[in-house]
Protein backbone atom coordinates (compact mmCIF):
# COMPACT_ATOMS: atom_id res chain seq x y z
CA UNK A 1 0.00 0.00 0.00
CA UNK A 2 1.19 3.52 -0.81
CA UNK A 3 -0.15 6.69 0.79
CA UNK A 4 -0.20 9.94 -1.18
CA UNK A 5 -0.07 13.09 0.96
CA UNK A 6 -0.97 16.52 -0.47
CA UNK A 7 -0.07 19.58 1.61
CA UNK A 8 -0.35 23.33 1.24
CA UNK A 9 2.86 25.05 0.29
CA UNK A 10 3.25 27.65 3.03
CA UNK A 11 1.47 26.23 6.05
CA UNK A 12 2.06 22.53 5.48
CA UNK A 13 -1.55 21.60 6.24
CA UNK A 14 -2.65 18.28 4.79
CA UNK A 15 -5.34 18.89 2.17
CA UNK A 16 -5.38 15.36 0.81
CA UNK A 17 -4.43 11.91 2.02
CA UNK A 18 -5.15 8.96 -0.18
CA UNK A 19 -4.14 5.32 0.04
CA UNK A 20 -3.33 3.41 -3.12
CA UNK A 21 -3.42 -0.39 -3.09
CA UNK A 22 -0.25 -2.09 -4.22
CA UNK A 23 2.84 -0.08 -5.10
CA UNK A 24 1.90 2.16 -8.06
CA UNK A 25 4.36 4.41 -9.87
CA UNK A 26 4.40 7.91 -8.35
CA UNK A 27 3.56 9.60 -11.65
CA UNK A 28 0.33 7.64 -11.95
CA UNK A 29 -0.92 8.81 -8.55
CA UNK A 30 -0.48 12.56 -9.05
CA UNK A 31 -3.71 13.15 -10.98
CA UNK A 32 -5.77 11.42 -8.28
CA UNK A 33 -3.99 13.25 -5.45
CA UNK A 34 -4.50 16.68 -7.03
CA UNK A 35 -8.11 15.81 -7.84
CA UNK A 36 -8.77 14.91 -4.20
CA UNK A 37 -7.09 18.11 -2.98
CA UNK A 38 -9.22 20.16 -5.40
CA UNK A 39 -12.44 18.51 -4.22
CA UNK A 40 -11.67 18.89 -0.51
CA UNK A 41 -10.31 22.44 -0.63
CA UNK A 42 -12.61 23.67 -3.44
CA UNK A 43 -9.56 25.29 -5.08
CA UNK A 44 -7.95 23.88 -8.21
CA UNK A 45 -4.17 23.58 -7.69
CA UNK A 46 -2.24 25.54 -10.30
CA UNK A 47 1.28 24.59 -9.20
CA UNK A 48 2.51 21.24 -7.91
CA UNK A 49 5.97 20.90 -6.39
CA UNK A 50 6.83 17.21 -6.38
CA UNK A 51 9.84 14.95 -5.92
CA UNK A 52 11.76 13.25 -8.71
CA UNK A 53 9.44 10.26 -8.77
CA UNK A 54 6.91 12.37 -10.66
CA UNK A 55 9.35 13.35 -13.42
CA UNK A 56 7.79 13.36 -16.88
CA UNK A 57 4.19 13.76 -15.70
CA UNK A 58 2.08 16.47 -17.38
CA UNK A 59 -1.38 17.57 -16.23
CA UNK A 60 -3.54 20.13 -18.03
CA UNK A 61 -3.84 23.37 -16.05
CA UNK A 62 -1.17 22.43 -13.48
CA UNK A 63 2.48 23.45 -13.66
CA UNK A 64 4.62 20.71 -12.18
CA UNK A 65 8.03 21.54 -10.71
CA UNK A 66 10.53 19.03 -9.39
CA UNK A 67 14.19 19.14 -8.34
CA UNK A 68 16.51 19.04 -11.29
CA UNK A 69 14.60 21.49 -13.50
CA UNK A 70 16.94 24.13 -14.88
CA UNK A 71 15.04 25.77 -17.70
CA UNK A 72 12.84 28.77 -16.88
CA UNK A 73 13.37 28.53 -13.13
CA UNK A 74 13.34 31.88 -11.34
CA UNK A 75 14.72 32.51 -7.88
CA UNK A 76 11.23 32.31 -6.37
CA UNK A 77 10.53 28.97 -8.03
CA UNK A 78 13.89 27.68 -6.88
CA UNK A 79 13.03 28.46 -3.25
CA UNK A 80 9.62 26.85 -3.77
CA UNK A 81 11.28 23.67 -5.01
CA UNK A 82 13.64 23.67 -2.02
CA UNK A 83 10.65 24.15 0.27
CA UNK A 84 9.33 20.84 -1.02
CA UNK A 85 11.84 19.04 1.20
CA UNK A 86 9.82 20.26 4.21
CA UNK A 87 7.13 17.74 3.31
CA UNK A 88 9.40 14.82 4.19
CA UNK A 89 9.50 15.71 7.92
CA UNK A 90 5.70 16.09 7.86
CA UNK A 91 5.42 12.55 6.51
CA UNK A 92 7.93 11.38 9.12
CA UNK A 93 5.89 12.99 11.92
CA UNK A 94 2.72 11.44 10.56
CA UNK A 95 4.45 8.04 10.63
CA UNK A 96 5.84 8.37 14.15
CA UNK A 97 3.46 10.74 16.00
CA UNK A 98 0.35 10.04 13.95
CA UNK A 99 0.84 6.27 13.79
CA UNK A 100 0.78 6.18 9.98
CA UNK A 101 3.41 3.43 10.04
CA UNK A 102 1.06 0.86 11.60
CA UNK A 103 -2.51 0.35 10.42
CA UNK A 104 -4.94 -1.46 12.72
CA UNK A 105 -7.91 -1.22 10.36
CA UNK A 106 -8.83 -4.08 8.05
CA UNK A 107 -8.94 -4.05 4.26
CA UNK A 108 -8.63 -1.42 1.56
CA UNK A 109 -11.33 0.74 3.16
CA UNK A 110 -9.45 0.58 6.47
CA UNK A 111 -6.28 1.74 4.70
CA UNK A 112 -8.12 4.72 3.21
CA UNK A 113 -9.75 5.68 6.52
CA UNK A 114 -6.42 5.38 8.34
CA UNK A 115 -4.65 7.67 5.85
CA UNK A 116 -7.35 10.35 6.12
CA UNK A 117 -7.41 10.18 9.93
CA UNK A 118 -3.61 10.52 10.09
CA UNK A 119 -3.82 13.62 7.90
CA UNK A 120 -6.55 15.09 10.11
CA UNK A 121 -4.49 14.34 13.22
CA UNK A 122 -1.49 16.09 11.69
CA UNK A 123 -3.61 19.18 10.98
CA UNK A 124 -4.99 19.17 14.54
CA UNK A 125 -1.47 18.98 15.99
CA UNK A 126 -0.42 21.98 13.89
CA UNK A 127 -3.52 23.99 14.89
CA UNK A 128 -3.01 23.20 18.59
CA UNK A 129 0.63 24.29 18.34
CA UNK A 130 -0.45 27.65 16.89
CA UNK A 131 -3.10 28.04 19.60
CA UNK A 132 -0.50 27.37 22.31
CA UNK A 133 1.73 30.08 20.86
CA UNK A 134 -1.21 32.48 20.64
CA UNK A 135 -2.16 31.74 24.26
CA UNK A 136 1.43 32.35 25.39
CA UNK A 137 1.51 35.71 23.57
CA UNK A 138 -1.76 36.80 25.17
CA UNK A 139 -0.53 35.73 28.61
CA UNK A 140 2.74 37.59 28.08
CA UNK A 141 0.87 40.73 26.97
CA UNK A 142 -1.42 40.59 30.00
CA UNK A 143 1.50 40.14 32.38
CA UNK A 144 3.46 43.00 30.83
CA UNK A 145 0.34 45.22 30.90
CA UNK A 146 -0.19 44.49 34.58
CA UNK A 147 3.41 45.32 35.52
CA UNK A 148 3.44 48.45 33.34
CA UNK A 149 0.27 49.92 34.93
CA UNK A 150 0.97 52.94 37.19
CA UNK A 151 0.44 52.45 40.90
CA UNK A 152 -2.09 54.63 42.73
CA UNK A 153 -0.07 55.75 45.75
Q: What is the pLDDT of residue 38?
A: 93
Cα distance between residue 10 and residue 83, in whole Å: 9
Q: What is the pLDDT of residue 123?
A: 93
Cα distance between residue 82 and residue 15, in whole Å: 20
Residue-by-residue pLDDT tens, the chain, 153 positions: 888 889 888 888 999 998 988 888 888 888 999 999 999 989 999 988 888 888 888 888 898 888 877 777 888 888 888 877 777 787 888 888 777 878 888 999 998 999 999 999 999 999 999 999 999 999 999 998 877 666 665
Cα distance between residue 146 and residue 144, in whole Å: 5
Largest CA distance in the chain: 76
Q: What is the pLDDT of residue 150?
A: 66
Among candidates 63, 122, 65, which has minimal Cα distance to 92? 122
Q: What is the pLDDT of residue 90?
A: 78
Residue 65: what are its φ and ψ, rounded to 5°? -120, 140
Q: What is the pLDDT of residue 44?
A: 92
User: How many other CB atoms sit within 10 Å of the CB of residue 41?
Assistant: 14
Q: What is the pLDDT of residue 35?
A: 93
Amino acid sequence: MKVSITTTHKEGLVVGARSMPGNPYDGHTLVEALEQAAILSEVQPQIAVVDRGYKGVAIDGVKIYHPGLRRGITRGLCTMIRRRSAIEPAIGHMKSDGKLDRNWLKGVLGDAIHAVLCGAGHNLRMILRKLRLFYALILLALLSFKTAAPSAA
